Amino acid sequence: MSREVIIGVDLGASKILSGIGTSDGQILQKTKQLTPHGNASSVIDLIADNILEWIKIAEAQHDSVKGIAVAVPGPVTYPGAVIEDSPNLGWQRVEFKEELSRRLGRPVVVDKDTNLAALGEYHFGQDRKYTHLLYLTVSTGVGGGIIINDRLYHGWRGGGGEFGHMVIDASGAECSCGRRGCLEAVASGTAVTKQIEALIKAGRGQNITACGCGSAVGAPELGKAARKGDPEALKLIKELGQNLGIGIANLVHLFNPQIVVIGGGVMIGLGDLLLEPIKEYVGEKAFPLHRRDLIIETTTLGNDIGLYGCIAAIAHGYKEICDLGDV
Ligand SMILES: [Zn+2]
């Protein structure tokens, strides 16, 4: 029986996840490959080849391709999907959507990875629809996506949702953006690694390093040590949770969402160890109006959330779910 399928690609700084799925949110097949260190053009070539391969697979199974969507690291303009000065990819002003659709000879939807993740969460992560949903990713960096009134909010030029660069401690750690105390600088995978390094330098954190296999120690080792009851690891996670709580309380006051969903490798890896201090902080510090019935939870879509977002964007009509008209 022939089906309609959707092709999704999640371009990350270190890997490219791509796959094929159906409108009801099932991923049928997926594959992961390393992002080549090359110029933008060679990476776009690779993604185009990848998509053409998925089209062949679909055709061999007599499926028709309903659409193609690609999630890319930000900042990305909207609606043109030009990748502007991406710190993760090291690209500047790459007309990604135009370049890719020209290579494929067909239209593609391209949006910021965290925006599409928010859409994925909105459509497939929850049992019911929450009209006001915020998505926050805590991985190497911190980013976000905003659903307001059932629409994906991009801001004027596409720059909305840069939650990671909200300053929460003006005298805090230096951020990659040049400022101090951004949420990303104090509560991300990169921040965790730096905090553990500082601990080790001070002659502490032995139980955390003992959980590592070599020199690189980060959030996974922190989680292992904390689960064994190591007080230093538990303290670091609590501080991480509090910092995320400060950021989320700010967001909750700005957007008054029904639900905040948190994803990303650090969040998924630490799970309830990290979720509890976040909920505790927001539960205590947010205004009663804002915290009443507020749901804060970890995504159930795991690391495939970007792919789910691509599927959601095509399945539910990208134009209709965005804040602007034609794209
Ligand atoms: Zn910053």
Q: Phi and psi dihedrals of 2, rounded to 5? A: -85, 145
pLDDT at 214: 60
Q: Spell out the residues 6+ positions from residue 309 whose beta carbon is closer than 8 angstroms to its own.
A: 8, 10, 69, 71, 111, 113, 115, 116, 117, 118, 119, 120, 121
pLDDT at 121: 97
Give whole-number Cα distances, 323 to 156, 190, 259, in Å. Answer: 10, 32, 19
CATH entry, 4-119+304-321, from 3.30.300.30, 3.30.420.40, 3.40.50.970, 3.40.50.720: 3.30.420.40
Q: Kindly give the distance from the C-alpha atom of residue 182 to the centroid of ligand 1, in angstroms, as a whole number.
A: 5
pLDDT at 90: 87
Q: Kindly give the distance from the C-alpha atom of residue 175 to the centroid of ligand 1, in angstroms, as a whole number.
A: 5
Q: Kindly give the distance from the C-alpha atom of residue 167 to the centroid of ligand 1, in angstroms, as a whole number.
A: 7
Domain edges within the chain:
4-119+304-321, 127-299
Which band of pLDDT confidence, cut at 50, 70 and 90, is reported for residue 327?
very low
Q: Kindly give the distance from the C-alpha atom of residue 162 to the centroid of ligand 1, in angstroms, as a whole number.
A: 9
Residue identified by tokens 């022939």 is 2
Q: Kindly give the distance from the C-alpha atom of residue 90 to the centroid of ligand 1, in angstroms, as a whole number.
A: 16
Q: Kindly give the distance from the C-alpha atom of residue 178 to the centroid of ligand 1, in angstroms, as a whole number.
A: 6
Residue with the larger pLDDT of the pair 154 and 86: 154
CATH entry, 127-299, from 3.30.420.40, 3.40.50.1860, 3.90.550.10, 3.40.50.10890: 3.30.420.40
Q: Kindly give the distance from the C-alpha atom of residue 150 to the centroid of ligand 1, in angstroms, as a whole number.
A: 28
Same fold, 4-119+304-321 and 127-299: yes
pLDDT at 324: 52
Q: Kindly give the distance from the C-alpha atom of residue 146 to the centroid of ligand 1, in angstroms, as a whole number.
A: 19
Quick one: average pLDDT of 3-28? 96
The predicted-structure confidence for 138-166, as pLDDT tens digits, reads as follows 999 999 999 999 999 999 999 999 999 99
Q: Kindly give the distance from the C-alpha atom of residue 22 to the centroid of ligand 1, in angstroms, as a whole number.
A: 37
Report every protein residue that has its C-beta within 5 angstroms of ion ligand 1.
165, 175, 177, 182
Smallest Cα–Cα separation from 138: which of 76, 72, 189, 74?
Answer: 189
Q: Kindly give the distance from the C-alpha atom of residue 142 to the centroid of ligand 1, in angstroms, as a whole number.
A: 10
The C-alpha atoms of residue 323 and residue 53 are separated, in whole angstroms, by 32
Query: Contact 267/137 with Cβ under 8 angstroms?
Result: yes
Quick one: average pLDDT of 67-95? 93
Q: Kindly give the distance from the C-alpha atom of residue 97 to the centroid of ligand 1, in angstroms, as a whole number.
A: 26
**Single-letter code of the amino acid located at 299:** T
The C-alpha atoms of residue 269 and residue 223 are separated, in whole angstroms, by 7
